[in-house]
Amino acid sequence: MLRGQKQSGFTIVELLIVVVVIAILAAITIVAYNGIQNRAKSSAVQNTAAQVSKKIGLWQVDNPNTSPASLATVGLSFNGTTTSEYSPGSNGEWCATITSSNVSYSVDYLRATPSVGGCPGHASNGVEAITNYATNPHAVSTGSAYTNQTPAGSTLAYLPTGAQDSGSAFRVVTTAAGQMRLAIPHTVGNVSLNDTISIGVDLYSSVATSVQIEMGLSTGVYPKSSTVNLNVGWNRVETTVPVIASAGVTVIQLLGTAFNTPAGTTWIASRAIITKSTSPYNYADGNSANWSWNGTPNSSTSKGTPIL
């Protein structure tokens, strides 16, 4: 019998090398496949958006200076993974967003060639739009003070450049010691039991004190946020208020929790964002990038994707 005959085969090192090579090739294949899929999806969305532009253009040949009420008006409908948002305007203005999965392209009355992303105020690339319910978010006109609850004779003024970013703001100055209140002009409709309203606002205080956000419900219930401490100077107040009863229109007001706020105390408020959410968002309004007003600029609610 032969002794010491070698057995042929792969060593562990050789097997590991083969496994690593296979893994690398698989990763390259997956990346290439995903890239092909994404390009195909992007191309399909662009083509659909271009079709929207052509359809509306043809419709407007017979209806000049007019916008179709909806995409269905021009014979377009979408189902499955493809969705659309459409905003008509005046004098033939319009904007449409087409989305498939997390890819969005938009076209409007000025752009027949689709652009990446959504129209102002629309969802974009998988990110849903939110609504800022503050109807005077940057305090472009005078706010309101509750004179029956703020010390009598307290003055309210509009400041064209009084905000922290040198934009407009409104200010209240107390004439006597007592509790201080300042309203944030807005309405939030259709709030329901167990909803949460989030509020963010720039607030200047001339004294170190504390504040709560109070929400007045149409049912006569007034839920409040937790207490937020203020430093002297500018503060970004961000908090939430739970809706504890079914209600309609609400009014938000800043409520000084220190009942001995001294005479001559100054509050300046601006850049309010009020949303139906469990946490506050960064400030944005209809003048922000990718946002739009839902009515009169600077005097209505606004909508757009969250600004990070």
Encode pLDDT of 23-38 as tens digits. Answer: 887 777 776 666 656 6
Residue 205 confidence (pLDDT) above 50: yes
| Integer Cα distance of 134 and 127 in angstroms | 21
Question: What's the mean pLDDT in 291-304?
Answer: 92
Q: Give the pLDDT score at 245.
A: 76
Maximum alpha-carbon separation in the chain: 117
Domain assignment present for 308? no
Domain assignment present for 33? no
Partners of 293 in the β-ladder? 302
> Do residues 61 and 165 both lie within one domain?
no
> Do residues 245 and 165 both lie within one domain?
yes
Q: How confident is the model at residue 120 (pLDDT cuts 50, 70, 90)?
A: very high
Please give the tally of structural domains in the chain. 2
Question: What's the mean pLDDT in 247-251?
Answer: 69
Q: Provide the residue range defining the domain that includes 246.
A: 155-287
Q: Give the pLDDT score at 3.
A: 53
Domain assignment present for 189? yes
Q: Give the pLDDT score at 1.
A: 47
Q: What is the CATH number of the domain that holds 185?
A: 2.60.120.260
Q: Give the pLDDT score at 118.
A: 94
> Do residues 174 and 276 both lie within one domain?
yes
> Do residues 277 and 172 both lie within one domain?
yes
Domain assignment present for 240? yes
Q: How confident is the model at residue 144 (pLDDT cuts 50, 70, 90)?
A: low
Sign of CA dihedral 114, 117, 118, 119: negative
Domain assignment present for 295? no
Domain assignment present for 269? yes
Q: Out of 111, 128, 145, pick the residue that ends a domain.
A: 128
| Integer Cα distance of 83 and 79 in angstroms | 7
Q: How confident is the model at residue 44 (pLDDT cuts 50, 70, 90)?
A: confident
Q: Are 303 and 294 in contact (CB under 8 A)?
A: yes
Whole-structure pTM over 0.85, yes or no? Answer: no
> Do residues 159 and 281 both lie within one domain?
yes
Domain assignment present for 136? no
Residue 192 confidence (pLDDT) above 60: yes
Distances 257 to 98, 112, 213 between C-alpha atoms, Å: 48, 55, 10
57-66, 173-182, 234-243, 269-278: lowest mean pLDDT where? 173-182
Q: Give the pLDDT score at 186.
A: 67
